[in-house]
Amino acid sequence: MWAIHLRKRLEAGAVSELQGIARFKFHEGKLEEFKRLSAQCMEIVRAKDTGTLQYDIYFNDDQSECIVLERYRDSEALVDTPQTLAT
């Protein structure tokens, strides 16, 4: 639903390259699930999505936290990524 709202807000003009930075702290026992789901998402994005320019994950030493760096070609690519993952 957020994608529809964002698309409407961006109709006035597309933004060139966007970057997102997210920080995750893992609950006990959830690290492997995060790694598995992230790997699945990366496979889908690499195979079907031409708008994602970067999707990198950096873990701290004990892997209790990570930083995810994402870059998108433009605002439209950012909006389209969840739809790519859903198909």
Q: Structural domains in the chain?
A: 2-9+16-86 (3.30.70.100)
Q: pLDDT over 70 for what percent of the chain?
A: 75
What pTM was computed for the model? 0.70
pLDDT band at residue 29 using 50, 70 and 90 as cut-offs: very high
pLDDT attached to residue 39: 94
Distance of alpha carbon 42 from alpha carbon 37, whole angstroms: 9
pLDDT of residue 26: 96
C-alpha–C-alpha distance, residues 82 and 57, integer Å: 18
Residue 71's DSSP bridge partners are 19, 54
Mean pLDDT of the chain: 82
Order of strands, sheet of 65-74, starting from the edge strand that comes earlier in the sequence: 16-25, 65-74, 52-59
